């Protein structure tokens, strides 16, 4: 059974960098699939942040691209998110998920972490 677990600070100050890690168990990241980050502000909808392939190739949400870096560490079987220059608008529950990208755009997030709330406040 594939399991994902987010970890990182629950409180980040404005203008600083948000850093989260997603530990994967039950599946080796180096075996394939994309791995992604999605966030959800309190009371609002889901927003895709970006995805990374096990080889390191990345796709980012154009609206966040200038502030986002997603990396993968296959030796630790985990991947990470860094979001710079955060503001209160970045306060959200952050989810990591396994992402399958198939032919004809048959894409889906099939396994999700439980999510972690990150609050941006001084």
Partner 1 sequence: SSELTQDPAVSVALGQTVRITCQGDSLRSYYASWYQQKPGQAPVLVIYGKNNRPSGIPDRFSGSSSGNTASLTITGAQAEDEADYYCNSRDSSGNSWVFGGGTKLTVL
Residues that bind partner 1 (CB under 8 A): 38, 45-48, 51, 59-62, 95, 102, 104-110, 112-115
Nearest residue to 20 (alpha-carbon basis) of 28, 29, 11, 33: 11
Closest contact distance (angstroms) between CB of 115 and partner 1 is 5
Closest contact distance (angstroms) between CB of 111 and partner 1 is 8
Which is closer to partner 1, CB of 90 or CB of 113? 113
- Angle 6-81-50 (CA atoms, 0-180°, nearest 5)? 105
Closest contact distance (angstroms) between CB of 33 and partner 1 is 14
The gap from C-alpha 35 to its chain's centroid, in whole angstroms, comes to 8
Residue 5 structure tokens: 């677990």
């Amino acid at each position: 059974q594939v399991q994902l677990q987010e970890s990182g600070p629950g409180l980040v100050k404005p203008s600083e960098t948000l850093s989260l890690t997603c530990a994967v168990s039950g599946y080796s990241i180096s075996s394939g699939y994309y791995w992604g980050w999605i966030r959800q502000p309190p009371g609002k909808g889901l927003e895709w942040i970006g995805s990374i392939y096990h080889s390191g190739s990345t796709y980012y949400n154009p609206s966040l691209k200038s502030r986002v870096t997603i990396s993968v560490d296959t030796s630790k079987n985990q991947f990470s998110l860094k979001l710079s220059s955060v503001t209160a608008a970045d306060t959200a529950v952050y989810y990591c998920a396994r992402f399958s990208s198939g032919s004809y755009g048959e894409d889906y997030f099939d396994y999700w972490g439980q999510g972690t709330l990150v609050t941006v406040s001084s």
